[in-house]
Each structure stands twice: as C-alpha cells, then as structure tokens.
Amino acid sequence: MSCILIWLKSESGVSPSFPLRSNAQERGDNDSDNMQVIALSATIPKPSETASRYCVNARIIRVEGKRRINAELRQMASLADLRTLISEFRERGIRKALVFCGSRAESEELADSIKPRSEKTPAVDPFGGNIFVHHGSLDRKLRLETEARFGEATIGICFATSTLELGVDIGDIHLVILAGPPLSVGSFLQRIGRGNRRTNRTSVVCFYRSPRERHLFNVLLDCAEAVCRTNLFTFSVHPLSCSSFFHI
C-alpha cells in the first residue's frame, strides 16, 4: 500500500504528522515517499472542514443518493396504535422491523406492549417471539447477544434507542418505525437509513403524539429530501443520501 500520512492541526498552529508512514515502512507495507490518502466516512456534516484536519489540499467527492423515502405519518394516541400497525405486517409483507424510541424506558414499554399478558390478551406478534430491546443501560454482553440474534433473524422486531443508529450490522430491515421525531436531521437520516438497504426506496413509519411532533416530522422529511436532492450536506446514510470521501 502507499503509506498513509494524517495531519492534525495543533493549538500552536503546527500540523504534526502522525508516524503512520514510518510505521508502514517498518512493516514493509510502503517503501516510497510518494503517498496517497483516501478517507471515507459514514456521516460528515462539514466535509471540507473535516478533511482539512487530516489531509492537505483534500478534494471532496460526493455521490448523490439513489434511494427515495417512503414515509407514512401516523398518530400514536395510545399503545394500541402501535399494535394496530404491527397487526398489518403480515398483509404488508413486513418480516423484520426496527423501532427507534426516545428513551430506554420507552423502548422497554413499547416492547412489553406487544407481548402476551394472558390467554385473554394474546400477543400481537407476527415475529415468532423474536422481540428484542437494545439500549445503553443493558449489560454489554446482553447487548452483543441481542445484536447477534436480531442480525441473524429473518423475522423479528427490535425496540432501540440511538444505540442502533449506526455501526452495528443488524441485517436487512423491512420497516423503520420512529416513535417520535429525533433531535436532528442527521439522526433522522441515520435512523431511516437502517432500512431497506437492498431496494431503491426506504420505508419509515413516523408516529407522532402531538401536532408539534407531526410538524417536526414534516420538517425532517423536507430536509432529508433536500439532502438527497441537492447535496446540501454530506450525510452518507448507506445509499439513502450522499456518500463522501476525500483524497490527495
């Protein structure tokens, strides 16, 4: 390989080089002073600023996303509205879903709401018992086990906080469900980008509990469409929006 050299701006204004070149030479991976740096990232809101911290005279390359957003806004007046949606899954061909929640308590509550209470109140469960919860308060071993089981499952549903926004392989998700709007466009793109990776359209159900939340969802959707259409930001959420890398 060509040796990688990363430059970071220090407080004194000097750009110290990290010893990656010498390390690569010691390993026998590089025997030339000629160098090329290629950097790739999933989400960069300010690519030029980020590139300048690591590369000299970096050239930004953006690739426009190809997928469209298929969004459905639904009111969640009670937990029954979630159960109604899930009862439609078989008819809609949905086998695997990811639900993003606003808090750990909410993820536990929503998961518990679709589990059976008694013989008189059967579960609304087209998932064969594959109902998972994932959040930061769970023991790390349990989180890893949940990630592995949900990732391998062909049928299932997982209720999660931001812990599953990125960085974890959870397999192909047919539908993303948002229980309330996230706090930023970036987070919104990350969440809806978890679904339908093998298609040209990502499907999301946006549950709102108030007129304000409905309005916020409309704003987030407009911003997400603008990102995909005009490349205003370099949010790379799989094929959903804009993939970015820079090199010299």
String of DSSP letters for 24-77:
HHHTTS---S----EEEESEESSHHHHHHHH-SS-EEEEE----EEEEEEEE-S
- What would the DSSP string read from start to end of 142-180? HHHHHHHHHHH-SSEEEEE-GGGSSS------SEEEEES
- Beta partners for residue 118, in sequence order: 121
CA-CA distance, 155 to 97, in Å (whole number)?
A: 8
- Contact of 218 with 206, CB cutoff 8 Å: no
**pLDDT for the residue numbered 55:** 67
- CA 168 vs CA 151, 162, 163, 177: distances in Å: 9, 11, 9, 17
More confident residue, 185 or 38: 185
The span from the CA of 62 to the CA of 231, in Å, is 8
Average confidence (pLDDT) over 57-83:
83
Average pLDDT over every residue of 219-225: 88
Q: Give the pTM.
A: 0.69
β-strand partners of 41: 244
Using pLDDT thresholds of 50, 70 and 90, give the confidence band for residue 57. Answer: confident
What is the distance between the alpha carbons of residues 153 and 135, in angstroms, rounded to a whole number? 19
Give residue-wise pLDDT tens across range 225-243.
Answer: 877 665 443 333 322 333 3
Q: State the Cα–Cα distance between residues 100 and 190, nearest whole angstrom.
A: 11
Average the pLDDT over 56-83 and give the result.
83
